[in-house]
Amino acid sequence: MTPDELISKFGRLRALKTPRTFLELAGYPHYENVSSNLLAFYLDPVGEHGLGDLLLRAFMNCVGIPWEATIHQAQTDREVYTKHGGKLDLLIVTDDFIIGVENKIWAPLHNDLDDYGRLITETGTKIGLKLENCHRVVLTVRDLSPDERRKAERSDFRVLRFAELSGAVRSLLGHYTRRADFKHLSYFTDLMQTLENLTGASKSELNQFLATHAREIEELNRAYWEYRKQLIPEVRRCLAETPLNQFNEEEIRYSIYQGTTLVTHVRCRDAHQKQAISVDLETSSECWKIVLFSRGFSDYKFTDASTLAWAELSPELLERLGASFQPEENGNLKAEFPPELKPAEISQRLSDVVLKVREALGYGAPSPMS
């Protein structure tokens, strides 16, 4: 496969990527307690969500409970304690059946399933249910290891993948949307998509492509990084011919970051003399980019002092730098230049920016190194 074909196919597969869900944006997609709390809410047939017994019926489909079972009411309890101190994640109790669920996202299945099984059976016995109506489930986003599967089987727990549950929900959803609360319907579909995303099902085609073309991708990646590394030395050679390279090291220092970013530190003065304005020249195949922000002059660390220095200095810097620079969401100042710009031209742009930073910091004429 040629590089053009490789990139074209990757672009098509990347376009299939599922947009991030609200739970993923919030940073809680893999928290078992969060997903268990939400599942418990939507398992209540008379809950304010208006989805009725949708999720409960989906569970019934997955564990083989006949639909003829009458659901007069259903109670779902969270973290039900066993006699030995264990905690079962979900216990769903109806007049006709019980489903005990141990919810697993990424954590290993180290729980005492026999202990959980006794809790489920004893709860069913108390309300007069037969053993075959007491269902035990390990709900998981991942494939369990062979040892984990044997452990589940020995304790009579059915292993249920989230993808299977999500599929059961999808097949029923059309019958429930008309009565559903719109807000909770949106939350529920977001939850189902989040759990499905965790299974990695939507990434399987892309993963297959990456596995099949791993060698070609690695070669292309190496070539790309070699290309990027070639740009920085050219910039440094150009800078050696400018006044910037002659500045006193107590005012300005240079470094190379990851072989592709030329970092210029211009030291602040007076109260902020331990801080610096960082002027980073980044290279890529798409553009040259100059980014300004503040951090320590010697240790290059971000601190409260560097944040304060930046808050005081960035407005004046933005005014001096002109329309080519724009503030980013994180507060940095950024300008982009065409990739075809020659190194000598971009080094001159960089020199101009550094001189304006010096002026904003109150420096006079450049003080060359002796």
Closest of 163, 169, 120, 160 to residue 138, by C-alpha: 160
Q: What is the pLDDT of residue 134?
A: 92
Q: What is the pLDDT of residue 19?
A: 64
Q: What is the pLDDT of residue 370?
A: 42
Strand partners, 264: 254, 279
With a cut of 50, list the residues of the chain below it in pLDDT: 29, 202, 370
Torsions phi, psi for 6 (to 5 deg):
-60, -45
Question: pLDDT tens digits, residue range 65-95?
Answer: 887 766 768 888 898 998 888 889 899 998 8
Closest of 309, 307, 341, 306 to residue 324, by C-alpha: 341
User: How far is CA 8 from each of CA 11, 137, 216, 233, rounded to the nearest angstrom?
Assistant: 5, 43, 14, 31
Residue 64 backbone class (left: φ over 0; alpha: ψ -120 to 50; beta: rest): left
What does the domain layout of the chain look like in residue ranges? 3-203, 223-360
* Interacting residues of 8 by C-beta distance below 8 A, sequence separation 6+: none
Closest of 35, 369, 59, 329 to residue 198, by C-alpha: 35
What's 223-360's CATH class? alpha beta
- The token duo for 97 is 């059946």
Q: What is the pLDDT of residue 259?
A: 66
